[in-house]
């Protein structure tokens, strides 16, 4: 049988540069999928690309400046390629910076061909065609009512090289409007995919060898997708349905919001063996005053209580979080309250950030911005405390047997790397053919950000 697309479509090279969260990693893979029928195939070197997509993130500081500096480099590469006789390289800017700064991008970098927001990726082929026809700019930054996922193909193998652990976006957007955050403006309102479309993608992933699924969403535990009966299904219901798919042994989800934690989600951690004992639940601050100013909708004690209930259901669950230091108005006492919360909970890991203003968010216009030097000092203190807790959590596993999903070769010959249920990378000596298996590993010692262990059994511990 001949492949018609290969004979009629000229092959072109696509290079996608991805910044930011796992949802962007997932979206980049979907953009590659959607452009494949047009003859685009991914290449690793930008110099060889006929089209480049910058999939941008707006959450970190100076995000916009990084995009413009990358665009400057691309302009130069395009000129070099033209001088070598290649066709004009198509330059597209996608993601949250595109959503937030679409007009500014075209104004400051008029050589950009396409600007597209995160809700419009399924329309990319049409935009490429329009850009080629018109020779002008195509800007698509609206929030269409059609859910992009229902129009994006997922024909290709999942994005991880080993095809064992893959991301699956189930929910997008956020209605929470935390004072400091751009996401509600760039990703739009919360919306969930239907159960059927998620199950069909997950089955396809399982057929490609995926054993571990990480469900993604800005507010993943706000998930409420339609099921086959037209009723609304929540995250624990979805997890139960996914865990029945043959081959799917492990399920994770990120990122959750304390306000959307339900007892049934907590119970699922007790009842569903496939649901891994790891919870990333950002709290941002331990001070009720700051939590209120942040518009988080919960208190520090409510957060403590949620964690207590998770631990009652699943005592070994690893707790991870995000913290911001130096939110406008944060005093020394507020910061002390954050340290007290961290000491009370005992985190397995956490991400810590210095507050940085995002134009258009309420906190950026607030009085009492905290001095940069104070923020720096607080960040150091909080990071030291978290590091000590992470070391303690990892250290407590030494001598214990854990189930490890082996996912890829290690750096040294004879080594294989996998993940513990608690998300830590675990390095063992084992033959390569064991990749893809879940085995029992005894933890021997800790490394900076991983664990070293030895293979105990080729099956998992009961
Ligand atoms: N300043 C600092 N950190 C921020 N985050 C989001 N917006 C900001 C900001 N303006 C952090 C939050 C969030 C994580 C993804 O990024 O902690 O949970
Ligand atoms: Fe941003 Fe808050 Fe929504 Fe998280 S919950 S995405 S921090 S607005």
User: How many Å lie between the centroid of ligand 1 and the Cα of residue 353?
Assistant: 7
Structural tokens at position 127: 């935009």
Taking CA atoms only, the protein residue closest to ligand 2 atom 5 is 176
- Position 298 scores a pLDDT of 98
Nearest bound ligand to CA 362?
A: 1
User: How many Å lie between the centroid of ligand 2 and the Cα of residue 1?
Assistant: 50
User: How many Å lie between the centroid of ligand 1 and the Cα of residue 438?
Assistant: 35
- In this structure, the number of other CB atoms found within 10 A of the CB of residue 346 comes to 12
- Closest by CA position to 220, among listed 244, 254, 245, 189: 254
Tens place of pLDDT for every residue, the chain, 462 residues?
334 444 456 789 999 999 988 888 888 988 998 898 888 999 999 999 999 999 998 877 777 888 999 999 999 999 999 999 988 899 999 998 888 888 889 889 999 999 998 888 888 888 888 887 766 677 777 766 555 666 565 554 544 545 799 999 999 999 999 999 998 988 889 999 999 999 999 999 999 899 999 999 999 999 999 998 999 999 999 999 999 999 999 999 999 999 999 999 999 999 999 999 999 999 999 999 999 999 999 999 999 999 999 999 999 999 999 999 999 999 999 999 999 999 999 999 999 999 999 888 999 998 899 999 999 999 999 999 999 999 999 999 999 999 999 999 999 999 999 999 999 999 999 999 999 999 999 999 999 889 999 999 887 654
Nearest bound ligand to CA 284?
A: 1
User: How many Å lie between the centroid of ligand 2 and the Cα of residue 357?
Assistant: 14
Taking CA atoms only, the protein residue closest to ligand 1 atom 16 is 59
Q: Is 146 exposed, middle or buried (0-12, 13-18, 19+ CB in 10 A)?
A: exposed
- The residue to mutate among 322, 358, 366, having the most atoms of ligand 1 within 8 angstroms of its beta carbon, is 322
Q: Please calculate the CA angle 432-433-439 and round it to the nearest 5 degrees.
A: 90
User: How many Å lie between the centroid of ligand 1 and the Cα of residue 27?
Assistant: 20
Nearest bound ligand to CA 257?
A: 2
What are φ and ψ of residue 39, in 5° steps?
A: 95, 0
Give the CA distances from residue 70 to residues 23, 54, 92, 155, in Å, rounded to whole numbers and listed in that order: 21, 9, 12, 30
Nearest bound ligand to CA 294?
A: 2
Q: How far apart are CA 215 and CA 300, in angstroms?
A: 26
Q: Which residues of 179-208 are buried (b: 16+ CB within 10 A; e: fewer)?
A: bbbbbbbbbbebbbbbbebbbebbbebbee
DSSP letter (8 states) at residue 274: T
Q: How far apart are CA 422 and CA 443, in angstroms?
A: 13
User: How many Å lie between the centroid of ligand 2 and the Cα of residue 62?
Assistant: 19
User: How many Å lie between the centroid of ligand 2 and the Cα of residue 444?
Assistant: 38
- The residue to mutate among 100, 172, 173, 184, having the most atoms of ligand 2 within 8 angstroms of its beta carbon, is 184
- Position 146 scores a pLDDT of 55
What residue spans of 324-448 are helical by DSSP H? 332-345, 372-395
Structural tokens at position 323: 């913290």
Nearest bound ligand to CA 296?
A: 2
User: How many Å lie between the centroid of ligand 2 and the Cα of residue 96?
Assistant: 14
Assess contact for 285 and 338: CB atoms under 8 A. Answer: yes
User: How many Å lie between the centroid of ligand 2 and the Cα of residue 327?
Assistant: 14
Structural tokens at position 389: 């807790």
User: How many Å lie between the centroid of ligand 1 and the Cα of residue 349?
Assistant: 16
Taking CA atoms only, the protein residue closest to ligand 1 atom 18 is 322
Q: How far apart are CA 183 and CA 97, in angstroms?
A: 11
Nearest bound ligand to CA 20?
A: 1
Assess contact for 329 and 366: CB atoms under 8 A. Answer: yes
- Position 6 scores a pLDDT of 42
User: How many Å lie between the centroid of ligand 2 and the Cα of residue 255?
Assistant: 9
Strands 318-325 and 278-280 come out as parallel
- Relative to the CA of 296, which ligand 2 atom is closest? 2
Give the position of tokens 């969260």.
21
- The residue to mutate among 20, 353, 361, 362, having the most atoms of ligand 1 within 8 angstroms of its beta carbon, is 353
* Interacting residues of 364 by C-beta distance below 8 A, sequence separation 6+: 180, 357, 358
The pocket around ligand 2, CB under 6 angstroms, is made up of: 174, 176-178, 181, 183-184, 218-219, 257
Structural tokens at position 27: 């979206």
Structural tokens at position 346: 């005992």
Strand partners, 427: 417, 452
Q: How far apart are CA 200 and CA 125, in angstroms?
A: 23
- Position 121 scores a pLDDT of 84
- The residue to mutate among 217, 219, 290, having the most atoms of ligand 2 within 8 angstroms of its beta carbon, is 219
Q: How far apart are CA 232 and CA 215, in angstroms?
A: 18
Taking CA atoms only, the protein residue closest to ligand 1 atom 7 is 181
Assess contact for 342 and 382: CB atoms under 8 A. Answer: yes
Residue 255: half-sphere exposure toward Cβ, Cα within 13 Å: 17
- Position 424 scores a pLDDT of 96
Strand partners, 15: 52
Strand partners, 446: 451
The pocket around ligand 1, CB under 6 angstroms, is made up of: 59, 180-181, 282, 284, 322, 324, 353, 355-356, 358
Q: How far apart are CA 46 and CA 19, in angstroms?
A: 15
* Interacting residues of 292 by C-beta distance below 8 A, sequence separation 6+: none
User: How many Å lie between the centroid of ligand 2 and the Cα of residue 176?
Assistant: 6
Between the two ends of the chain, the Cα-to-Cα distance in Å is: 48
- In this structure, the number of other CB atoms found within 10 A of the CB of residue 136 comes to 11
Sheet containing 278-280: which strands, arranged edge to edge? 278-280, 318-325, 349-354
Give the position of tokens 């020779």.
135
Taking CA atoms only, the protein residue closest to ligand 1 atom 17 is 322
- Closest by CA position to 202, among listed 258, 243, 261, 148: 243
């Amino acid at each position: 049988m001949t492949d018609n697309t290969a004979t009629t479509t000229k092959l072109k090279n696509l290079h996608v540069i991805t910044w930011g969260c796992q949802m962007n990693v997932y979206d980049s893979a979907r953009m590659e999928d959607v452009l494949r029928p047009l003859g685009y195939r991914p290449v690793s070197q930008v110099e060889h690309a006929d089209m480049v997509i910058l999939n941008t993130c707006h959450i970190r500081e100076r995000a916009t400046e990084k995009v413009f500096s990358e665009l400057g480099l691309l302009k130069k590469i395009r000129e070099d390629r033209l001088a070598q006789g290649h066709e004009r390289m198509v330059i597209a800017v996608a993601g949250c910076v595109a959503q937030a700064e679409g007009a500014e991008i075209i104004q400051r970098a008029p050589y950009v061909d396409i600007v597209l927001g995160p809700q419009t990726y399924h329309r990319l082929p049409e935009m490429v065609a329009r850009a080629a026809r018109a020779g002008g700019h195509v800007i698509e930054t609206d929030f269409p009512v059609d859910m992009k996922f229902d129009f994006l193909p997922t024909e290709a193998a999942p994005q991880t090289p080993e095809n064992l652990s893959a991301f699956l976006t189930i929910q997008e957007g956020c209605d929470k409007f935390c004072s400091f955050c751009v996401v509600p403006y760039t990703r739009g309102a919360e919306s969930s995919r239907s159960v059927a479309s998620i199950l069909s993608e997950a089955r396809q992933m399982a057929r490609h060898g995926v054993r571990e699924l990480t469900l993604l969403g800005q507010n993943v535990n706000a998930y409420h997708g339609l099921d086959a009966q037209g009723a609304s299904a929540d995250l624990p219901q979805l997890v139960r349905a996914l865990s029945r798919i043959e081959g799917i042994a492990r399920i994770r989800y990120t990122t959750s919001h304390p306000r959307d934690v339900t007892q049934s989600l907590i119970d699922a951690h007790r009842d569903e063996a496939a649901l891994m004992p790891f919870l990333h639940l950002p709290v941002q601050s331990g001070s009720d005053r700051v939590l209120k100013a942040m518009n988080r909708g919960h208190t520090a004690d409510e957060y403590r209580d949620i964690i207590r209930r998770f631990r009652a259901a699943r005592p070994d669950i690893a707790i991870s979080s995000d913290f911001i230091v130096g939110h406008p108005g944060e005093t020394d006492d507020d910061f002390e309250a954050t340290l007290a919360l961290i000491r009370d909970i005992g985190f397995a890991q956490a991400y810590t950030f210095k507050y940085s203003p995002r134009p258009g968010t309420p906190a950026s216009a607030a009085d009492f911005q905290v001095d940069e030097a104070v923020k720096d000092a607080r960040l150091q203190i909080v990071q030291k405390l978290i590091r000590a807790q992470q070391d303690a959590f990892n250290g407590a596993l030494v001598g214990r047997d854990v189930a490890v999903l082996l996912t890829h070769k290690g750096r040294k010959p004879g080594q294989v790397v996998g993940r513990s249920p608690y998300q830590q990378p675990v390095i063992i000596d084992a033959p390569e053919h064991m990749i893809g298996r879940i085995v029992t590993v005894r933890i021997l010692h800790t490394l900076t950000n991983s664990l070293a262990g030895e293979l105990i059994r080729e099956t998992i511990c009961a």
